[in-house]
Chains A and B, each alone.
Chain A
Amino acid sequence: MKMVAIAWRYLVARPLAAGLNLLLLTLALGSITFMLLVSTQLDQAFERDLAGIDVVVGAKGSPIQLILAGVFHIDVPPGNISLEAVRELQKDARIAQLIPISLGDTFRGFRIVGTTPAYAEHYAARLAQGTLWSAPMQAVVGNQVAANTGLAVGNSFIGTHGLGASGHEHGDDPYLVTGILAPCGCVLDRLVLTATESVWQVHEKATAVDDEDRKLLEAEREITLVLIRYNSPMAAVTFPRFVNTTTEMQAAAPAVEVTRLLRMVGVGTDVLRGFGAVLLLTAGLSVFIALWNAVRERRADLAMLRMLGAPPARVAGLVLCEALLLAGLAIVLGLAVGHGLAEVAGAWLQSERSLPLTGWIWLPAEWWVVALGLAVAALAAMLPALGAYRLDVTTLLHSRS
């Protein structure tokens, strides 16, 4: 008979205590796993989408809102800026690259982004099929968009006005799909890219009453915001202040704003992490109490093992083995629960056309969850195992009562 088999028998001989401890440990490890998966993937998504964007210039308003709308495409933009002002800005020597972004329409919840091919190049996006757009009203769809809507090269679709759920459809101006992007793991996966001119065309046609009116609108063309890369890091000191004080626009540095955002959100994740830690502590205590009682109840059994010739270390090992067996089960279940929750949250976020999140990944940091589970069990088993080690076998001979 193996030690594991004996420990397992002892464990199932007390189903209520074992089940309760398993539940506590599983919940604790599961919530820690979930936190780990979510925070790591969101950090990665933020980092990837932010890479290479030094500053975002858009309409005045909340800087965080501007970043969320312009870089991550999860909020509405504060407003539009005039094309004229952008052209003026582009002359600035501190700017290495300027990518225009025009928002306004969606297709089944996915944003239609008017931009230049530089935007796709910025994320080093590759085409899975077809080509990039070469004329207005042609569109390239992100991988997730294609998978979700079934759009293929050669299909046409009609954009819906507004970034919300409902709006009127621009029925007169269908887009033609010319390409589908390969998955890039970045924000492009959930966007529809088209030329900036497409967005102008759709809206001018929709609002202009006659040709004269349209000319007027053309003179007042706007875009939503621009993503800017600096020539030198020194520009970070002077450029945002220059934009904020001398123009009608605002400049927001994504790195600064995201740090600010994560600090605000961080309170929430810290609370969750603390919750997980408290849960784990409770689970550890509960395992300790259960083992302590088990060793007390089983004192005679354990003494009998010593009488049968088991060295003290083997008896103590049995107690430790029982705890580790419990922890092993809880680790497997906890990881499954954490990944399952992450997958559920990911599915929900995807239906909201928001950040990418999946349960189908294994992070190296999850080995820490395994180590944590085993460490807590070993720690909880230490005193009971010591008690088993030091057991006075002669009590076996004195139990006259």
Chain B
Amino acid sequence: MIRSRQLAYRYLAGPALQFPDLDLPQAGILLLHGPSGSGKSTWLALAAGLLRASGGQLQVAGQDLAALKSVAVDAWRARAIGFLPQRLHLSEALTVSGNLALAQWAAGVPEDRAAVSQVLGTLGLAALAHRRPTQLSGGQAQRVALARAVLLQPRVILADEPTASLDDAAAGTALQLLADTATRLGASLVIATHDARVAAALPGAQVCRLAGLPAAANGAVA
């Protein structure tokens, strides 16, 4: 469940961004559309608790983010958010299963090999568990990154441009997998994208268009 009201963020030496209000039910799919610089990244950072809103309200997975202290926000993010970055950022120093174990370590939960093999099995990656990220194809690597994102069964999955470097067929498969995985977990799925194919592939998704215009009320800092 994601709910925002008059959400705004102002960069230290830049424009203030005003985001449209939105209500996304749990297990819903939200597409963040907009050109570069429209604030998609900022919105994702706000939703993940990496940035703090300068105005308005934002509730993610039932949590009012303004109410969380900075230490608690890391622990909350570990539990509630699964993040699929555009450039997958798998660690080359570790194997596929090592990368997933790294996520458990980062989240501060005990190492759980069974959970790692289970999620790898679910995503059809069991055979690749001992490969290095460099030994994977682009599609395989993205699935590993998705496995890492959903390992701790988050309430919300944030995906940043998941189709940016994929051809039509691969993009369709990737989006289908993403949507299926979110549905299976009962997690909300937010996809930040400027790719028109995404909206076509996920007709049931709620769409939020970010204009990127500076908030008139606050005024842009020159």
Which positions in A face B, CB cutoff 8 Å? 1-3, 6, 9-10, 12-13, 300-301, 303-312, 314, 393-394, 396-400
Contact = CB atoms under 8 A, between A and B. Distances in A.
A1 B98 contact: yes
Interface string B106-130: 1110010000000000000000000
Contact of B105 (A3, A300, A307): A3
B41 A1 contact: no
B44 A10 contact: no
A14 to B, nearest CB: 8
Interface residues of B, number: 36
19 contacts: A6-B105, A306-B106, A307-B48, A307-B50, A308-B77, A308-B78, A308-B102, A309-B74, A309-B106, A309-B107, A394-B51, A396-B85, A397-B41, A397-B44, A397-B85, A397-B160, A399-B86, A399-B87, A400-B86
A394 B103 contact: no
B177 interface: no
Nearest to B145: A304
Contact of A301 (B44, B74, B91, B108): B91
Contact of A1 (B36, B92, B104): B104
Nearest to B87: A399
Contacts of A9: 93-94, 98
B86 A309 contact: no
B45 A394 contact: yes
A1 B101 contact: yes
B212 to A, nearest CB: 15
B78 A309 contact: yes
A307 B85 contact: yes
B136 to A, nearest CB: 16
Contact of B102 (A305, A306, A397, A398): A305
Nearest to B91: A301
Mostly, the A contact residues are helix
Contacts of B103: 308
B5 interface: no
Contacts of B98: 1, 9
B84 to A, nearest CB: 10
Given A394-B45, A397-B45, 20 more contacts: A1-B98, A1-B111, A2-B105, A6-B94, A6-B102, A9-B93, A12-B93, A300-B89, A304-B85, A307-B77, A307-B83, A308-B77, A308-B102, A308-B106, A309-B77, A309-B79, A311-B71, A314-B108, A394-B50, A396-B85
B160 to A, nearest CB: 6
A300 B79 CA distance: 21
Contacts of B81: 309
Contacts of B160: 397
Interface in B7-48: 36, 41-42, 44-45, 48
Q: Which of A3, A6, A10 has most chain B Cβ within 10 Å?
A: A6
B74 A306 contact: yes
B166 interface: no
Interface in B141-164: 148, 160
Contacts of B105: 1-3, 6, 310
A311 B74 contact: yes
A146 to B, nearest CB: 58
B75 interface: yes
A310 B85 contact: no
Contacts of A308: 77-78, 83, 102-103, 106-107, 148
B161 to A, nearest CB: 8
